[in-house]
Structure 1
C-alpha cells in the first residue's frame, strides 16, 4: 500500500451496515468523484446481545454477498482498499471468518486477486483475568468493578479496536481489511489518518459517515462521500437527488453519544465544540474547527454477553371491549393466576423462573412513563418466559395457555375467547443473552489485543 502523504482523502461510505443494500449507481458515482477508500460497517450492538452471545450474524449471507460483490469489484477496479468493520454483526472471530469466506468466493468467481487481512478482536478470558489482576481493567458507568466470574460466564468477549490495527494491515499491503469488532468510526478514519490527515477532521468526518446516508435528506438512497483535508472535511450524498445540510450533518453528533460535543475513541477524544458547519451549495456541507485530544492512556472497550436462561414466547390478541376497557385489571389477574398455577402444577417458586407480560397497543413500550389516554380497540398480549432450561420455560408457557385464551376479568359473567397468533401458541426462542461488560482495558500498544492474518486470493481454475 502506498503510504505517501496526501493533500486530501476521499472516503466512500456506501451504507450504514453491510448487507443493508444500496443502489449500485451510487458506488459508481463515488468512484467517479475520486474515492480513495471504501469503508463499511458490518455490525452493531443495536439489535441486542444475542448476536454476540451466540456469535451469529444478523444479516443473511445473500445480502452480505450482494453488497460485497459490488464493493470488491469497485475497489479492485479503482485500485483502492475496502475496509469492513465488526464483521458478522458482533465482530467475533467466527464472524470475521464468515465474511472472509464470502469474500473468498466472490474473488474466485470474479477472477480477482486481492490481498485480504483478517483482524481478530475476540478476547481470551484468562488473559483478561490477568489484566484485571494487574489493575488494567476499569469500569464505565453504570457498572462497577468487574468480577472474575462475570468474565468466565461470557460466551464471547470482543475488544473494540481503534484505527491502529487497520492501518497496520494496510501498511502490510492489504487491499481488503476484514476487521473484528471495531469502533464504528475507526474503519472510516484509518485510511485518512494513515495518509497524514489531521485527527480532528478525520474522526469527525468518520463519525458523520458511520451510518452512510443517515446524515442526508434521503437515507434510503445510498451513502456519502467525505473529503478530508488539512483544515476540515466536506460531505455530500452519492445520490444526486439527496442532500446534506448543516443541520442534518451536525445532528449526527447526537447519535449514540453521551455528549454531542465529545466522543471518546481508544486513543483520545473528538472535540467538536468549535466546529462550524457551512452549506457550500444546496446538497454539500463543509465542516471546520474539529479538534482531537490525544489521551494519556490508550484503552480498548470490552463487550461481552452471557446466557441468562432460555425463553419461550406466546402471543394472544384481545378485542373483547370489556376486557380492553379493564386491561390493567385483566393483566394483574393474569400475572397472579400464572404464578399460582405454576406453583400448583410445577411446584416452582417465582425465583426459579421469570415471566414478562407485555400489552402491545397499551403501554407495552414505555409503560408508566407515557401512559395511554383512553382504551385502545385491541391489545396484543405477549408472554415471555425465562427459565434455566428450555423445557421449564415451555412448561410455564403451556400452563399459561388456557389463561391466554380464555381468562375473564373478575366481574365478567361469561368466558371470553381471545386469539392466539400461532398454532402451537408456544414458540421456543432458545438461549437468551444479556450484555454484562461495560469496561475498558489499558493497553501497552494499540494493537496488542488483536491478531492479524493475511491471505492472497488466487484465480479459480
Structure 2
C-alpha cells in the first residue's frame, strides 16, 4: 500500500443525484483508494430531518449505489456515504443500509457494512445542557430543555473519527448518519496518515463532486493528497479544473472563504496557492489545519411549527399587475376581515404569507427591476396550529384570489387557478430550532456503530 499519497474518488455531490458510470470507471483506473459521497444535507429545509424522510427516491439511491458498490468491491477499496437519508437520522441510515444490503446480496459482493448512527435523545442532551456542555452558535441564544423535547428528531454532526473507527473495525462500506460533508472525504486519507491541512482542504473542494470543475454536470472528481498538498482533476476527460474553479469552492456554504470549522478544528487556507499543472489539473499547497482546544459536535433539530395549506393563482390583468403590491396588501386586509367574521379567528390564530412570483418573490425589497411584471403568480401560504384551520382560511381566500379587484377597478377580474381544488394541504410544517454545539471528551461518544457482516459463503 502506497502511503505517500491517497486518492479520493467523489462521483457526485449527493447520492441519488446521478453521475455517468464511466466516470467512476475512470476514477478507479486512475488508482482511487476510496470512494466518498455525501448522502444528504439541510439545504432543502427542515422537513427531511423533522419527518425522518429522504428527498430522493429509492430508485435514485439504488441506481447510484449499485454502480459504487460494484466498483468498490471490484477494486477492493472502501465506500463511505455520509448523512444517509438526507437528514442523517437513524431511519435514514437504515433506509440506505437496506438498499445496500439488497444490492450486496443480489450481486454476491460479500461486503461488510458499518452503519454509524448519529441520532440523539433529548433526555441525554438535557443532561449535558444542565452540565453546561451545550453552547449556542450565532444568532441563537441559550437553549431551553423544552426545545429539545419539542424536536421530532435531533442529530449530531459527526466529524471523521466515527467513520475512521468503522473503517479500522473492518468495514468495507460505511453508511454514516449526519456528518460534515468534508468528514466523509477526509476520514480515509487521515486514517492513512495524510497531513490534516491538505486533507481537510481537499475534502472541502471535492465535497460536491464536479462543482469544482468547468462542467458540474459531467461527473465527479479525483483528489490526490500527499505530504505537501493535493491535486484535483475531473473524471470526465472533457471537463477541467482551473485555479479559479477550485479556489471558488471555498466560497461555497462558508461564512469565511479562508477559514472553516470542523468538529476537530479549523481549516485555514489563507496561505494556500492554486496552480494549474495542465489544462485540466490543479495543484494546491499551503493549506493548514488548527486543532481545536475543545472538540465539539454540532446539533441539528427540527420540530413541528404548525400545519400549512397553499393556494396558487396567476394574474395577467395589467390593472392589477401595475400595482401588484397594493393589491396584495388589499388582499391581506380583506382576508383578515372575512376570516374574523366567518371563522371567528384573530391574527394570532393563523399566519398568511403572500409571495408574488414574477414580481419580487425571490429578492423581496432588494429586487432591482421595479417595472411592472407582465404576469404574476400569487402563492398564498396559510400557517396554523392545525390543518383544518389552515385550510379553512385558505378557502376563505379562494374567491378573493379569483376575483378581487384592485382599487379603482369597476369590474371583477378573473385570475387563473392551475388546480382544482385550489387548496393544497401541505401537512405539518417543520422548523430548525437547534444551532448549538455540545462539548465532548471523545469525538465518537455521541455515535453508535453496528456492523453487518457479509455471509461467510458470499
TM-score by length of 1: 0.98
Structure 1 segment 279-428 matched on structure 2, within 5 A = 279-428=276-425
Aligned-partner Cα distance in 1 for 2:57–2:44: 15
Aligned-partner Cα distance in 2 for 1:441–1:104: 33
Aligned-partner Cα distance in 1 for 2:169–2:184: 16
Question: What's the C-alpha RMSD, in Å, of the aligned pairs?
Answer: 1.1
- Deviation sequence 1:55-101 (CA, Å, 0-9, x none): 11001100000000000000000000000000000100000000000
* Partner residue of 1:101 out of 98, 101, 104: 98
- Deviation sequence 1:16-46 (CA, Å, 0-9, x none): 0000000000000000000000000000000
* Partner residue of 1:202 out of 199, 204, 214: 199
Structure 1 segment 20-419 matched on structure 2, within 5 A = 20-419=17-416
Give the match's secondary structure for 1:420: coil
Gap regions ≥5 residues in structure 2: none
Aligned-partner Cα distance in 2 for 1:303–1:460: 41
Give the match's secondary structure for 2:337: helix
- Tell whether the 8 Å contact from 1:52 to 1:92 is kept in structure 2 after alignment: yes
Aligned-partner Cα distance in 2 for 1:370–1:316: 21
Please list every run of at least 4 consecutive aligned residues from structure 1 whose deviation after the TM superposition is greater than 4 angstroms: none
Aligned-partner Cα distance in 2 for 1:433–1:107: 35
Give the match's secondary structure for 2:181: coil
- Tell whether the 8 Å contact from 1:5 to 1:195 is kept in structure 2 after alignment: no
Offset at residue 458 of structure 1 (A): 3.1
- Deviation sequence 1:238-285 (CA, Å, 0-9, x none): 000000000000000000111100010001001000000000000000
- Tell whether the 8 Å contact from 1:201 to 1:233 is kept in structure 2 after alignment: yes
- Tell whether the 8 Å contact from 1:119 to 1:178 is kept in structure 2 after alignment: yes
Give the match's secondary structure for 1:419: coil
- Tell whether the 8 Å contact from 1:170 to 1:177 is kept in structure 2 after alignment: yes
Offset at residue 372 of structure 1 (A): 3.1
Aligned-partner Cα distance in 2 for 1:209–1:22: 15
Aligned-partner Cα distance in 1 for 2:160–2:312: 45
Do the aligned partners of residues 48 and 460 (structure 1) sit closer, same or farther apart at CA in structure 2, a change above 3 Å counting? farther
Aligned-partner Cα distance in 1 for 2:29–2:302: 43
Offset at residue 371 of structure 1 (A): 4.7
- Tell whether the 8 Å contact from 1:112 to 1:459 is kept in structure 2 after alignment: no
Aligned-partner Cα distance in 1 for 2:369–2:387: 34
- Deviation sequence 1:308-356 (CA, Å, 0-9, x none): 1000000000011111112111111100011111100110001111010
- Tell whether the 8 Å contact from 1:357 to 1:384 is kept in structure 2 after alignment: yes
Give the match's secondary structure for 1:189: helix
